[in-house]
Amino acid sequence: MSVALEILSWICIAAGGAFCVIGAFGLIRMPDFYTRVHAASITDTVGVGLLLLGMLLQAGLSLIAVKLVMIGLLFLFANPTATHALVKAALSRGLAPLLAPGEDSSKR
């Protein structure tokens, strides 16, 4: 493996790990459920994507790489569905979202 690829994959893994931590930190910091979901979606998209990309660069062209791509695709297709189901259930259950001042929730 060339040095450039090695460095690139190192950067990807470091950045992915950082985004995962940022997303989890947002999960703690955000004030209500709906905004927490936004924070978690950072972990679920960029964190996962960059970490998988970093591992993909390490794996090279092999079946391992194919499986990593499969995990990534599965994630990009399936995770929004789970998030959407969660948020929809929360709203239909009557969990009122915290809105910015001036935004009327009765408008919805």
Partner 1 sequence: MFAAGAAALLVALALALVRAILGPTVFDRLQAANTVGTLAMLMLAMLGFLTGRPEFLDLALVYGLLNLLGTIAVLKFFRYGDLGEPGEDAERHT
Partner 2 sequence: MLQLTSLGIVLYVFWILLSGYFEPFLLAAGAGSALAVVLLSRRMHIVDREGHPIQMIAAVFWYWPWLLKEIAKSAWDVSRIILDPRLPISPVLVRFKPSQKSQVGLATHANSITLTPGTITVEASQNEFLVHGLTRSSGAGVIDSEMDRRISKVEGYR
Residue closer to partner 1 (CB basis): 36 or 102: 36
Q: How does 56-71 read in b/e, with b if 16+ C-beta sit within 10 Å?
A: bbbbeeeeebeebeee
Which residues between 76 and 95 bind partner 2 (CB under 8 A)?
A: 76-77, 79-81, 83-84, 87-88, 91
DSSP string, 29-97: HSSSHHHHHHHHHHIIIIIHHHHHHHHHHHH-SSHHHHHHHHHHHHHHHHHHHHHHHHHHHHHHTT-PP
Residue closer to partner 2 (CB basis): 60 or 80: 80
82/9 Cα distance (integer angstroms): 29
Residue 85, interface with partner 1 (CB under 8 A)? yes
> CB under 5 to 8 A by kind: which of partner 1, partner 2, none does 46 bind?
partner 2
- By CB under 8 A, name the one of 1, 3, 61, 81 that touches partner 1: 81
Residue 71, interface with partner 2 (CB under 8 A)? no
Residue closer to partner 1 (CB basis): 74 or 103: 74
